[in-house]
Amino acid sequence: MATIMKELTSNEYYNKVYGSWLGRVAGDFVGAPLELRDVERIQRRYGEINYYPKKINLNYVNDDEMYEIIALIALEKYGLNLTAKDIALEWINLLKYERAVFTAEKAAVNNIKSNIFPPESGALNNPYFDFIGAQMRADIWGQITPGCPEITKKYAEMDGSISHSGIGIEGEVYVAILISHAFFEIDIRKNIEKSLAYLPKENESQYTKTVQKAIKIYEQNPNDFRKARNVLINEYWIPLKEELINKEPTPETDRANVLRSRESQVHVLPNIGIIVLSLLYGAKHEDPLGRSICVAGMMGYDTDCNCGNVGAILGAQLSADNIPSKWKDPLQDTFSTYVKGYEKWKISELARRIADVGEKVVKEKSQDMVKIVD
């Protein structure tokens, strides 16, 4: 069977990249005030969230996106065939504040400064190797590879290896491919399922198993996201976490202690479950992006990462023009970050630079499976 070429105009492509970044930043501002708070406390304070929980401060900086900005700068500096080491060195050059570097990325930075480079930098002395950090920075790799999931996977694996290994890298691959597919796939359920084809099989990967579990939980509770969240966390994740702890060589290793602590809420598995549930619960809503972001926020755990990824996925699917004004107007096309020399951006200009790189990727690497035309 002949492969059907997928096609976007240059303007359509830019509009979708712009939409993805508007969704990402909107998700940040929904999720940041809720991060790592108990769901009961979130519900008591904010009730049913359907808008930004706090007034937006345009000078606020979320640490999540700075790695994607550095990835963009590295792509522009080294070209499309850049290496994980290239990006790792730019982390050291461009991260403005080390106090804004956490968990797996902090371990990686320490390794890189000791001349330990990817993939060793993601695994050595790193009890956070399967936490959420790689997944949170996945967006740009899907944005520059629209409809090209095989290319997406290679970039995401490369970037993930800087600070993660195993299912930690799978998280970056999966979310990046969800975004790559979102440029052409308008059915989020189909996207969720077909993106799994680029991960190991369910019997080989706890990550794949968790995505499949989240789908089943949704099907069993199609009208009650709070009940679904309870099943995901209390009946699935917490027992699984105990299994992971029991596999440690001794009960007092750094790894076991991390999994016992509040930091375990930043593990990739419960958070991808929350992302999948949020996408499914928002799919039939009149405002799928807003509803999905808000559900992700109300489910707790690493809310800024989850809401941001959800917004990036659905923003690419919808395009900037189709995102409701209630979500994009308060952003005032403004974005702040902790990257030296790149602290202030217009979101539209950031999207333009990413789209410019993406057009080169499609032209040079897609083997005519995707075409961007004037």
User: Domains, the chain, ranges and CATH?
Assistant: 15-369 (1.10.4080.10)
Q: How many CB atoms lie within 10 A of CB 24?
A: 28
Which candidate, 265, 258, 262, 263, places its Cα nearest to that of 301? 265
Residue 2 pLDDT: 46
Strand partners, 373: 9
Over residues 242-259, the pLDDT tens digits come to: 999 988 777 678 999 999
> Strand 6-9 vs strand 370-373: parallel, antiparallel, or unpaired?
parallel
How many Å is the maximal CA-CA distance in the chain? 60
SS3 6: strand
Question: What residues in the chain have per-residue pLDDT under 50?
Answer: 1-2
In DSSP notation, 69-101 reads: HHHHHHHHHH-TT--HHHHHHHHHHHBS-GGG-
What is the torsion angle, in degrees rounded to the nearest 10, for the CA atoms of residue 123, residue 126, residue 130 and residue 134?
Answer: -80
| pLDDT score recorded for residue 1 | 38
Please give the Cα distance from 233 to 249 (Å, whole number). 25
**What was the pLDDT predicted at 293?**
98
Identify the residue whose tokens are 């016992």. Answer: 260
What does the block give as tokens for 336? 């702040």
Tokens coding 301: 């755990």
Q: Is the sign of the CA dihedral 315, 319, 324, 330 positive or negative?
A: positive
Closest CA to 262 of 35, 36, 32: 36
pLDDT at site 368: 86
User: pLDDT at position 3, please?
Assistant: 62
Rounded Cα distance between 44 and 46, Å, is: 6
pLDDT for 101-127, tens place per residue? Answer: 999 999 999 999 999 999 999 999 999
H or E stretch covering 9: strand 6-9
CA distances from 240 to 42, 245, 247, 268, 274 (A): 25, 9, 11, 13, 16
- Nearest 5°: phi and psi at 360? -65, -40
